Amino acid sequence: MRLEALTRAMESYRGQGHALLEKLIDPEAASRIVAQFIAACREHGKSVRTGPQNRTAVRGAAVQVYGNRYPALAAFHWGLTPVMSAVTGLDLIPSYSMFRVYSRGATLRVHRDRPASEHGLSLTLACSGDAAWPLEIATEGEEAEIPLLADWGDLPHRAYTMLTGDGLLYRGPTHAHARTTPNPNDSSVHGFMFWVDANGPHADWGYERRAPSERDLD
């Protein structure tokens, strides 16, 4: 990631609460990460069930692996911490991370994240059909809770189109986000990494020191 791109991201994030990080990682590196992830899924994979009883924001078939079950992801997460600290201007510590594979037609409902997701990165790692699947985010942040929503209604938002290796850094608990357009690819792989401010009110979520309750599950 070039210095000028990093500078733009710093200004955007500190002013808006979200910033596009273009070419955060090399596409070849992303491909190698995906290959390792697929191997991990065979051993630790977990289906995300759909339906009204589902506590997650995901609608449709998906598989995910958490960093606490996959050391390679945790190491990658920790390695990105200095860059994310530079963008936010804060002393960040990792909280949790995961890989997720979405199938064709999957969507992500409009939602905000739990406190452990104070600063979140959504990283596009692969799309089987090379079709962009935009990530949508509210243009303004709010502290109030919202239910899981199928669409944005009157809530102002914008969409970011990300290519392989691009990431979006955002304030998860305050900025609602979603993918309301169905996934146009047979599958797409994304990495999600989260941090908390070491000097902030949610620092005790650092390094997954707190176990999430049912209400906190993504």
Domain-by-domain residue ranges, the chain?
3-212
Query: 204: how many CB neighbours lie within 10 A of its CB?
Result: 12
CA distances from 139 to 10, 12, 161 (A): 16, 12, 15
DSSP code at position 114: -
DSSP code at position 205: G
| 53-57, 148-152, 166-170, range with the lowest pLDDT | 53-57
What is the rounded distance in angstroms from the CA atom of residue 102 to the CA atom of residue 131? 13
Which tens digits make up the pLDDT trace of 6-39? 888 889 999 999 999 999 999 999 999 888 877 7
- Kindly report the CATH number that applies to the domain delimited by 3-212: 2.60.120.620
Q: What is the pTM of this model?
A: 0.88
Quick one: which H or E segment has residue 177? strand 177-179
